[in-house]
Amino acid sequence: MKPHVLSRQLGLGLIELLIAIALGLMIVGAMMSVLFSTRSTSLAQSGFSQLQDDQRLALTMLTNTIQASGYFPNPLTSTYTTELPANATFVNAGQGVAGTTGGAAPGDTLIIRYEEGTADGTLDCNGAVNGTGANLVVVNTFSVDASGNLTCSVNGATARALAGSVQNFQVLYGVAANGKASVVRYITASSMTTTNWKNVISVRVTLTFTNPLAGQAGQPATLAPITQIIPLLSRI
């Protein structure tokens, strides 16, 4: 009878083991690369989505508030001289815009005033109604704080943040010749005269926002500035 010979099962050799480890590392590396790429894309999309919201809100609040400058209710029974008198900030009666020039970032300050009626639904820059029971002059002050927020203070109260990621806020005032309806030139607040303030018919705002991809290779710290020219409806 032929004897039965048992075959011995051999384990992995060193070469096979090294190849298996190398293949495993390659697969794990590829998966990690996909994971980090997906995460980076998600963060970038989230950053740009937040940026678009900030841009939209900033321009909407600036536009709505600037367009209301110089407004007062009941022009048939009231005049701008009595409703919006001259003072230290607004050097002309009826003047609805003023400001200061900040030069370097975070930039300028823009001041807008108008009068809210008791039931006309006029909102301030923070979205609130202030005129309750009597007409009230509302002064809205826009500026950018140290944290990069476009803020607005109403009648000297604590400023509230409207939009983030703002690095610079520049304001120019469109001045028309006396009795004219078109802008002759745009001037900074520091270069304005009493007569210039009387003849402002539009405001040119420029906002510079932080780049959500700042810090990545080839990416600038800020995006291209956004400029918008906003007419004063009280002067149309």
How many residues does this entry show for the chain? Answer: 236
Poorest-pLDDT segment among 36-45, 48-57, 171-180, 187-196: 36-45
What residue has token string 């939209």?
56
Residue with the larger pLDDT of the pair 138 and 13: 138
Q: Indicate if the pLDDT at residue 4 is higher than 60.
A: no
Q: Which of 2-11, 138-147, 214-223 has the lowest mean pLDDT?
A: 2-11
The share of the chain scoring above pLDDT 70, in percent, equals 86
- Quick count: other Cβ atoms within 10 Å of Cβ 186? 15
Instruction: Measure the CA–CA gap between 188 and 206, rounded to whole angstroms.
Output: 12
Position 48, amino acid: F
Cβ-Cβ contacts under 8 Å for 121 (sequence gap 6 or more): 129
Residue 77: pLDDT over 90 = no
> In terms of pLDDT, which residue wins out, 29 or 66?
66
Structure tokens at 192: 């304005």
Mean pLDDT of 84-106: 93
pLDDT at 37 over 70: no
* Buried-exposed string 116-146: b where 16+ CB fall within 10 A, e elsewhere: bbeeeebebbbeebebeeebbbbbbbbbbee
CB 142 within 8 A of CB 110: yes
C-alpha distances (whole Å) from 144 to each of 119, 159, 215 are 31, 10, 23
Among 27-31, 132-136, 184-188, the range of highest mean pLDDT:
184-188
> How far does the chain reach from its first CA to its final CA, in angstroms?
118
Q: What's the pLDDT tens digit per position in 153-162?
A: 999 999 999 9
Distance CA 43, CA 171 (A): 32
**Of residues 162, 99, 166, the one with CA closest to residue 127:** 162
pLDDT at 68 over 80: yes
Task: Categorize the per-residue pLDDT at 40 as very low, low, confident or very high, splitting at 50, 70 and 90.
Answer: low
26-35, 55-64, 119-128, 179-188: the lowest-pLDDT one: 26-35
């120019």: which residue's tokens? 172
Q: Is 107 helix (H, G, I), strand (E, B) or coil?
A: strand
Listed ranges 37-41, 43-47, 219-223; the one with the highest mean pLDDT: 219-223
Predicted confidence (pLDDT) per residue in 179-226, tens digit: 677 899 999 999 999 999 999 999 999 999 998 888 788 889 989 999
3-state secondary structure of 159: coil
Residue 45 in this model has a pLDDT that exceeds 80: no
Helices (H), 3-149: 14-67, 80-83
